[in-house]
Every structure is written in structure tokens, then in C-alpha cells.
Amino acid sequence: MRGFLARRTAALGVTVLLASFVVFLIPYVTPGDPVRKIIRSQVQGELVDESAVQGLTAELGLDDPLPVQYVRWLSHFVSGDMGLSYTSRTPVIEHVMPALWITLSLTVVTLAVAAIAATALGTLAALREGRLTDRVITALTQALIAMPEYWLAPVLVLVFALNLSVLPSAGWSGPSSMVLPVAVLAIRPLSHFTSAVREGMLDALGGEHVLAARARGLSHSQTVFRHVIPNGLLPLTTLTGVWFAGLLGGSVIVEVIFAIPGMGRLLYDAVLNSDIPLAQGGVVFVVVLAVVLTTAGDLLHAVLNPKMRNSHA
């Protein structure tokens, strides 16, 4: 267990460093003069003459070797100085933090909805294995995984916002504006969770320990609640971690369609406008958060699973 923890944490650190290095390289690999791009992200006001550029190049240390520049960039970054957005000429951090909160809350609500619904549906399908209920739920999960969000979203908007006028079609203003985005975002995790819960429950149901529990006099429902559901839900912990990471980026489409000022939207705009500092800040935040969350999911799984908790491997 301790070894597992250590290895996970080490992997986390390495990933974050690697990702940050790749992100650091953006201005160097994109078309155009990197020096001008970097200066643009550091200094307010427009640059006109060549001599000013040269002065600033030396002043900002842009003639230093790349590793040195990287370390300096990273230390700035860690202390919260991520440069200025090209488009708004304001510090990147001021854009990233509010966007991050919006995306996080969207993600948390979505995953909670998906996990609860999937637990109910997956358990029901497993207990009714092979019957109509199971077949309908299974068919539904298969259909949902093939559903493009950028199609479902306009269709839902068409129905609920334009025709029925019960929900806002876009924007970020209170709980009602969250309904449609959450519905669209939840379909794929829901589908994935449901089939995982169903499989987990079937495995748990098929375990000989279930028959043995009956043979010790537990009733069917006692057996299901004590020995099937807790075991069958275990896979959800890891999956939630993975999807947490997936949704932070998967929300690009939904945030663009519903005009939600979250991380997805921020990154999209940054790429469209070639706003390099904004993209750098956004990507690093998303990646760090994603890696941390996935690791957390794994650790939770390990803690809940006695086999791993006690292993010394």
C-alpha cells in the first residue's frame, strides 16, 4: 500500500512536470517569433521599435538557454504569475480561477447525477438480468454512448428552450441554467457507469459468497444489501476519477454551445484567438486537476478494497 501510494504520487509529479514543460514550449513551436510572443505576454502596452524588443529580450532573460527559461517560467507560474492574456491584457490568473470554479461545479453536479442514476439503473438491470428491464437499460446505455453531445444539446434546446420555453437556452445564471448542460454532459458517464455497475453487480451476484450467504440464512434482500451492492459499486470509485478528468475537457463542447464561461470555453477562445498565455494557464490547470483527481480515484479504490489496502506490493 505504501509502495502503491509512493508510486502514484511520483507518477503524478512526473506527469505534472512533463505537461508543464510541453505547455511551456507552446510559444516556441507555434508559428511566429517566440520572443515577441513572450514579450507580449509579459509587458503591458504595444511594442513598436526593434530596439525596445532587444532591450526587453535581455531584460526578460529570453537569450538564456531553454532549461533556464523553463525553470524561471515555472517558478513564476507556481507563484501565480501566469502572464497577461493577449486579448484582454489582464493577468491570466484572473480569467482562469472563476472559469475553473464554474467548470468544477458543473462537473461535480454532473457526476453526482450520473453516479446516482447509474447505481439505480445498473443495480436494477443486474437484478433483472436477461429480462425486459435489463434489456431496455442495456440498450439505452449502448445508445447513449453513441450520442454526440453537439447534437443532443441543440435538440434539447429546441425542445425545452425554444418550443416549451421552460428552461433557458444558454448562459450561466442560477440552477435552471444548469439543467440542460448537466443533462447533456451526463449522458456518456451515465452510460459508462451504468454498464460498469451492472457488470460489477453481476460479478458480485455470481460470486459464490452470495449463495453461501443465502445458505447461512440471510434473506434475498439482506444478501443483496449486505453482500452484493457494496461489492458491485467498487468499480465506480475509479471510474469517477477518470471521468472527472475527462469532463474537465469534455465540457468544451457543452460550454461553447450553452455559452457557459467555464474552462472549456476559455481554452477554446484562447486557441481560436491564439492567446498563448491564456491557453498555457488553462491547460496546466486542467491537466494538474485531472491528474490529481484520477490519482485520488485510484487511491480511494485502493482504500476501499481490502485486498489492496493490506498488500505490501
Partner 1 sequence: MSEGLIIEHLHVGHGVPPAQRRWAWKRRESGRGPEPASTPLLSGVDLTVAPGEFVALVGASGSGKTMTALSVLGLLPPHVHIEAGSIRLGGTDLTRAGEAELNRVRGGRVGMLYQQPKRVLNPRRTVRSHLLEPLALHAGLRGKAAEERALELLSGAGFPDPASCADAYPHQLSGGMAQRAMMALALAGRPELLLADEPTSALDPVLERQVLDLIDRQRREHGLGVLYITHNLATVAAYADRVAVMRAGRIEESGPATAVLNAPQTDCTRTLREAAALTPDAKPRRAVDHEASAAVVLDRATKRFPGRGRDARPALDEVSLEVRDGEILGILGQSGSGKSTLARLVVGLETADAGRVARAGDGAAAPSRTPGRDVQLVFQEPHDSFDPRMRLRTSLEAPLLTRGGTPAARRKRIHQAVKEVDLDPTILDRYPSQCSGGQLQRLAIARALLLEPSVLICDEATSALDAVTQRTVLDLLRRLHESRRLTLILISHDLSVIRYMSHRVAVLHRGELVELADTADFFARPRHEHSRQLVAAALPPACAILEDQRLSQPNVALNH
Partner 2 sequence: MRSRTALIVAASVLAVVVLSVALAPWISPYPPAQQSLAERLAPASPTHWLGTDHLGRDTLSRLLEGGSFSLAVACAATLLTAALGTAIGVVSARRRGWIDEVLTRTSDVLLALPEMVIALFVVAVLGAGPVSLLLALAVTGWTPFARLARALAYDVSSRGFVEAARVLGCSPSFVVFRHILPHLSGPLLGQAALRFGQFLIAVGALSYLGLGVQPPQSDWGSMLASAQPYAARSPLGVLAPGLVIFTVALCVTLIGQHLAALAGLRTLLSLAPSRRGSDV
- Which residues here bind partner 1, judged by CB under 8 A? 129-130, 205-219, 226-227, 230-231, 234, 305-307, 310, 312-313
Q: Give min distance, CB of 197 to partner 1, in A.
A: 16
Q: Which does 18 bind (CB under 5 to 8 A by kind): partner 1, partner 2, none?
A: partner 2
Q: Are 281 and 140 in contact (CB under 8 A)?
A: no
Q: Give min distance, CB of 264 to partner 2, in A.
A: 7
The residue among 210 and 247 lying less far from partner 1, judged by its C-beta, is 210
CA distance 149 to 161: 17
Q: Give min distance, CB of 141 to partner 2, in A.
A: 7
Q: Give min distance, CB of 307 to partner 2, in A.
A: 7
Q: Are 247 and 294 in contact (CB under 8 A)?
A: no
Which of 157, 163, 122 lies closest to 140, judged by CA? 122
Helix axis angle, 234-257 to 149-156, nearest 10°: 60
Q: Give min distance, CB of 229 to partner 1, in A.
A: 11
Q: Are 165 and 176 in contact (CB under 8 A)?
A: no
Q: Which does 213 bind (CB under 5 to 8 A by kind): partner 2, partner 1, none?
A: partner 1
- 91 DSSP β-pair partners: 84
Long-range (24+ apart) CB contacts under 8 A made by 160-169 are 169/258
Query: H helices of the chain, where?
Result: 2-24, 26-29, 34-42, 50-59, 66-78, 92-127, 132-145, 149-156, 176-206, 208-215, 220-223, 229-232, 234-257, 263-272, 276-304, 306-309
The residue among 168 and 200 lying less far from partner 2, judged by its C-beta, is 200
The residue among 84 and 197 lying less far from partner 1, judged by its C-beta, is 197
Q: Are 296 and 288 in contact (CB under 8 A)?
A: no
The residue among 81 and 203 lying less far from partner 1, judged by its C-beta, is 203
The residue among 223 and 282 lying less far from partner 2, judged by its C-beta, is 282
Q: From the CB of residue 143, how many other CB atoms can be counted at a distance below 10 Å?
A: 11
Q: Which does 199 bind (CB under 5 to 8 A by kind): partner 1, partner 2, none?
A: partner 2
The residue among 67 and 306 lying less far from partner 1, judged by its C-beta, is 306
Q: Which does 72 bind (CB under 5 to 8 A by kind): partner 1, partner 2, none?
A: none
Q: Which does 312 bind (CB under 5 to 8 A by kind): partner 2, partner 1, none?
A: partner 1
Q: Give min distance, CB of 107 to partner 2, in A.
A: 11
Q: Give min distance, CB of 6 to partner 1, in A.
A: 14
- Cα atoms found within 13 Å of the Cα of residue 92, Cβ hemisphere only: 30
Q: Which does 92 bind (CB under 5 to 8 A by kind): partner 1, partner 2, none?
A: none
Q: Which does 226 bind (CB under 5 to 8 A by kind): partner 1, partner 2, none?
A: partner 1
The residue among 216 and 307 lying less far from partner 2, judged by its C-beta, is 307
